[in-house]
Structure 1
């Protein structure tokens, strides 16, 4: 059944902190112990592994929002140190261990097990067409351990939404670096202050901002115009609409139950951002 978009958006807010525990210290240390040179080696090895040994150009296209050349600094180098199958296993073990540390008494609780079951039912129910990263994740076995299963489901739901978000950006003619600029502006920041793009050469970033200014989306001071804000809102609305299919398998009561069950789990998982 279909659900109100506000509830679909709320699910994205709850899924995000659970899924992104995979980018925290414990999984990172596990990758470093296997020969990764830095955080980003582990990031690309773990996140790209469901795609197999895809070349950098393919990973760049699927991930969408990395600047030119950033993926190629890590792919295919990481595959000389670890196989995709090994990276998948390391990522799952490390993330489950990190989640257990964060969740404390919630681990093994009936509420977590139920949330994992409902989230998994939703996460494996959506069509894969046009969802490259989601499709790759769907080929993996669902973990039996409830904590690992919950993270796996959250990751499926996050990447399903991410694939749709990329489609929404593409439909509005917004490139990956441009998307980061729009995100920065929506947070009240200048582009050069935003963590995902602040490292880019100033001239390169200025060219991206100039391109948005030429379309009337950014004003002379580097902030949103009304048109820019409207485009950003349309992209976010379309993203939520495209994120809805996994939840169609759940009844209204089940979605409400899942939302309530994830609230304390997501709150505890946010501790990895502290």
Structure 2
């Protein structure tokens, strides 16, 4: 029997803070020490490294939600400073340090070993078809250190879901920047103030919002219409559905155990 979608979505909520320690200042400093010019150099070097020396056009397509030209400001420049293999090693090492700092004594507990093992079983079990970034990560060696192993598993599960989310967006005809606008509205924010797109030229962002308005997804005030809200909900529901195969390898009790084990870990990070 498939797991309830509510539990699949709960896994997303728990995996996200663990995986995204890789975007923290600890990891940023590690990349800056290698000659990266700024945060985004390190971001693209670390996250794109599983794809190898892929050109900016490929990274842009796989990452999906960056505006035109944003990836090309960093790829392939970063590969003149660090190889993908070096970037992977730095990212894993620094992410484990960041995670260990945030979860404190839990990092040394026997329970974390069990949680890392369950998460890794799920993370390594999913099919790779149509999941380019997940496939690249799955080809890497699993770390032996339990903290690094947990981060690695969380990253695999996050990117597996992310690849599926991109497919859901494509199926609904929502472009990358449009997806950020819908996310902003779902969070109760105006697109112009949302951190991931507020830096875009005003005319460019306005054109994206106008396009959503013409499709009946956004109203004259820049808020969701009923159709827009329903579209966003369908995308999220399909994303959860597409994320579910990663957990098929776990029986119901194991998934419940994994969720229970991840909750205090994720909470300690979220409250850091």
TM superposition outliers: structure 1 runs of 4+ over 3 Å: none
RMSD of the alignment, in Å?
Answer: 0.7
For 1:8, the equivalent position in structure 2 comes to: 8
Across the two proteins, how many residue pairs are aligned to each other?
Answer: 272
For 2:166, the equivalent position in structure 1 comes to: 166
3-state SS of the aligned residue for 2:140?
Answer: coil
Gaps of 5+ in 1: none
For 1:234, the equivalent position in structure 2 comes to: 234
3-state SS of the aligned residue for 1:113?
Answer: helix
State the shift of 1:267 in Å: 1.0
1:123-202 alignment runs, 5 A limit? 123-202=123-202
For 1:210, the equivalent position in structure 2 comes to: 210
For 1:51, the equivalent position in structure 2 comes to: 51
Cα deviation digits, residues 224-250 of structure 1 (max 9, x gap): 000000000000000000000010000
2-side partners of 1:26 and 1:169: how far apart?
32
2-side partners of 1:88 and 1:269: how far apart?
22
For 1:36, the equivalent position in structure 2 comes to: 36
1-side partners of 2:265 and 2:222: how far apart?
38
1:28-107 alignment runs, 5 A limit? 28-107=28-107
TM-score under structure 1 length normalisation: 0.98
TM-score under structure 2 length normalisation: 0.99
Cα deviation digits, residues 21-69 of structure 1 (max 9, x gap): 0000111100000000000000000000000000000000000000000
State the shift of 1:108 in Å: 1.9
2-side partners of 1:56 and 1:249: how far apart?
35
State the shift of 1:270 in Å: 2.0
For 1:264, the equivalent position in structure 2 comes to: 264
State the shift of 1:3 in Å: 0.1
The answer on whether the counterparts of 1:116 and 1:149 sit within 8 Å (CA) in structure 2 is: yes
Cα deviation digits, residues 166-212 of structure 1 (max 9, x gap): 00000000000000000011111111010000000111000000000
The answer on whether the counterparts of 1:41 and 1:74 sit within 8 Å (CA) in structure 2 is: yes
3-state SS of the aligned residue for 2:248?
Answer: helix
Gaps of 5+ in 2: none
2-side partners of 1:95 and 1:240: how far apart?
26
2-side partners of 1:195 and 1:104: how far apart?
29
